[in-house]
A and B are shown apart, each in its own frame.
Chain A
Amino acid sequence: MKTLNEVLNSGLHGLYYGNRLLLPFRADILKAIIENDIIMDFSSNSSNAEYNIYDDFTEIYFYDYKDISEDVTEFETIKLVLVEFGEDIFDFKNHRKIALHVKEHHKLEIEELNDDILLIE
């Protein structure tokens, strides 16, 4: 299993298939923004989104989207506020903001958000 920092430093990418995203690290997702949708409900009752943490990766489903590559365009990103699995979720210093760029061949480019990109937690 890789940490988020290892993934970011080594430029590892995630994957997407339709509305399923696979991130090569383990994390609790606090907030997701895709297009105009601000998603914070990841409960089992949610009809919008769900995520599962496995041994080597985290998977997210965005149920309202059939194929995210059709909705997220060239300069757009999917934005996530997350906490790496195992870290103190209540410490804001552990809250990380990342952007996922949808690329060809099912690749998801993972980038830590800099100050230029807007993401209000």
Chain B
Amino acid sequence: MKPKILSFFIGVVVFLFSNAAVFAQEAAEQIAESTGAVHHALPETFTVIPFIVLLLLIATGPLFFHHFWEHHYPKIAMFLGLTVVIYYLAVMHDTHSLLHTLAEYLSFIALLSSLFVASGGILIKIDKKSTPMLNVIILLIGSVIANIIGTTGASMLLIRPFIKINRNRIKPYHIIFFIFLISNIGGALTPIGDPPLFLGFLRGVDFFWFIEHIWYMWLPTVLFLLVVFFIIDSRNKGEETGEEDFTGKIEFKGLKNIGYLLIILISVFLDPAVMSWVPSLSPLPFGIREIIMFAVVYISYKTADHEILKANEFDFEPIKEVAYLFIGIFATMIPALQLIAHEANVLGNQLDAGIFYWSTGLLSGFLDNAPTYLNFLSAAMGKFGLDINIAEQVKDFALNHPLYLQAVSVGAVYFGAMSYIGNGPNFMVKSITERAGVKMPSFFAYMIKYSIPILIPTFFIIWLIFYYGAG
């Protein structure tokens, strides 16, 4: 069974990228003329191989050669990333794409690591008996909070209390629904919620555009998943907990870290593209925002209450894992994203909102959703002759073609829940859960048992209601 699944997966990925490349190469000149966004020749098709290899290793490493992978993944990710970097430097002479990707990576890891460390210094203790309704309430609150402190912050803050409450009846589905809702779908309402929306905001989309245009899709999706969770959770009777006394108390420790979270949230806006008075540090691949975020990482760790860190079993390993893997992912996906973006641009006129929704979504499930979002946003704008690099045109696009921006935004955020590598917090939640002694499903089992049977029908219904035949 496993080799079949593996070969199917390889086939799908190879097909996806080889087709994208063929279409893209045929149309390279046409696109360069029409979009103005492309300044370099297209990479060769074979340059997507390191990316495919890395994805396959991330998927199969923990499954088939766990300890080799655990000890060598940083070197493997760096090596594969380096092959693409060398190709871009030596063959394509394209430093622009590399610097741009480095800047995006630094922004990504600055936000993720600062939220991770700051929320690691906060301890929430909920001494209540686990019930399906209490779990639903926590998942709902987490989905809302994800829009205020990001999906990473909300995940780090709530995963431990969520496991503790359910300690007598915990099953993998508890954690999977946590990943679905709090680590991904919940954060679709604000630019702080999920990195792709933040990139859209930096390009000119109004801060409140997302909540205004996505809430009526967010609410039924969240409620539907909560109902599914409630039904599954109601059938789980767990162990008898008759001997345990619950005080019903909710404790909150580490208030000063709320201050650090606020600093991170405010610093999100400190971008020359948003506030003109903020100095740009160009050509450096980072800005004031990233410096503040990395400073928060250092200060919040150094000043943290050791008792809270101990209770949270704080460890840099989960963020280290994300940092190394995503160095490799960001570097190796440069050619893949360029090829996909070109194809999307070529076919722009034939693509409706539904196709943008599915294509942004399915790729976001396995690539980082932030650059995927930008590429498809660029392609969707190209369909109407608009340029993503001009803020006024982005605003115009958001105003006059909300269906397309909505499709790309929802696709990027929602589908991040499709796999462990779809979004940064997914991996962190998995790691924390395993360290608590709960065996989590493998990469493939996560998709086969949970995301495909639960999320794909949900996303299909969304497509049917909102995008079928529209645009």
Q: How far is the CA of A115 from the CA of B251 in the complex (A)?
A: 13
* With known contacts A35-B435, A36-B70, A64-B67, A75–B164 Cβ distance under 8 A: no
Number of A interface residues, CB 8 Å? 20
* With known contacts A73-B315, A75-B310, A75-B315, A118–B70 Cβ distance under 8 A: no
Interface membership of B29, Cβ < 8 A: no
Q: Name the residue of chain B whose CB is nearest to the CB of A116.
A: B311
Q: Do the beta carbons of A31 and B309 come within 8 Å of each other?
A: no
Residues facing B in A34-67 (CB within 8 A) are 35-38, 64
Closest-CB distance, A59 to chain B (whole angstroms): 21
Q: How far is the CA of A76 from the CA of B167 in the complex (A)?
A: 20
* With known contacts A35-B317, A36-B70, A73-B317, A119–B311 Cβ distance under 8 A: no
* With known contacts A73-B317, A75-B309, A77-B313, A119–B70 Cβ distance under 8 A: no
Interface membership of B351, Cβ < 8 A: no
On chain B, the residues within 8 Å of A82 by CB distance are none
Q: How far is the CA of A36 from the CA of B73 in the complex (A)?
A: 14
In the complex, the number of residue pairs spanning A and B with C-beta atoms less than 8 Å apart equals: 62
Interface centre among A35, A75, A79 (most CB of B within 10 A): A75
Q: Name the residue of chain A whose CB is nearest to the CB of B309.
A: A75
Q: Do the beta carbons of A33 and B435 come within 8 Å of each other?
A: yes
Interface membership of B37, Cβ < 8 A: no
Interface membership of B160, Cβ < 8 A: yes
Interface membership of B139, Cβ < 8 A: no
On chain B, the residues within 8 Å of A76 by CB distance are 313, 315, 317, 435
Q: Do the beta carbons of B434 and A38 come within 8 Å of each other?
A: yes
Closest-CB distance, B363 to chain A (whole angstroms): 28
Interface membership of B163, Cβ < 8 A: yes
What are the interface flags for A73-117 relative to B under an 8 Å C-beta threshold, 1 for contact and 0 otherwise? 101110101000000000000000000000000000000000111
Interface membership of B170, Cβ < 8 A: yes
* With known contacts A35-B435, A36-B434, A75-B309, A118–B317 Cβ distance under 8 A: no
On chain B, the residues within 8 Å of A118 by CB distance are 160, 163-164, 167, 313, 435-437
Q: How far is the CA of A79 from the CA of B434 in the complex (A)?
A: 12
Residues facing B in A1-58 (CB within 8 A) are 31, 33, 35-38
On chain A, the residues within 8 Å of B100 by CB distance are none
* With known contacts A64-B67, A120-B167, A75–B438 Cβ distance under 8 A: no
Q: Do the beta carbons of A75 and B437 come within 8 Å of each other?
A: no
On chain B, the residues within 8 Å of A120 by CB distance are 163, 167, 170, 436-438
Q: Do the beta carbons of B314 and A119 come within 8 Å of each other?
A: no
Assign chain B's interface to a size class: 20 to 34
Interface membership of B431, Cβ < 8 A: yes
Q: Name the residue of chain B whose CB is nearest to the CB of A77.
A: B313
Q: How far is the CA of A118 from the CA of B310 in the complex (A)?
A: 11
Interface membership of B216, Cβ < 8 A: no
On chain B, the residues within 8 Å of A117 by CB distance are 310-311, 313
Q: Do the beta carbons of A38 and B437 come within 8 Å of each other?
A: yes
On chain B, the residues within 8 Å of A64 by CB distance are 67
Closest-CB distance, B135 to chain A (whole angstroms): 15
Q: How far is the CA of A8 from the CA of B179 in the complex (A)?
A: 38
Q: Name the residue of chain A whose CB is nearest to the CB of B436.
A: A118
Q: How far is the CA of A79 from the CA of B313 in the complex (A)?
A: 11
Q: How far is the CA of A18 from the CA of B314 in the complex (A)?
A: 23
Q: Do the beta carbons of A73 and B316 come within 8 Å of each other?
A: yes
Q: How far is the CA of A36 from the CA of B420 in the complex (A)?
A: 15
Q: Do the beta carbons of A75 and B317 come within 8 Å of each other?
A: no
Interface membership of B439, Cβ < 8 A: yes
On chain B, the residues within 8 Å of A31 by CB distance are 437
- Besides A73-B317, A76-B435, 5 more A-B contacts (Cβ < 8 Å) are A31-B437, A76-B317, A117-B313, A119-B436, A121-B437
4 tightest Cβ-Cβ pairs between the two chains A and B: A118-B436, A116-B311, A120-B437, A36-B434
Some 6 contacts from A to B, beta carbons below 8 A apart, are: A73-B317, A76-B317, A116-B311, A118-B435, A118-B437, A119-B436
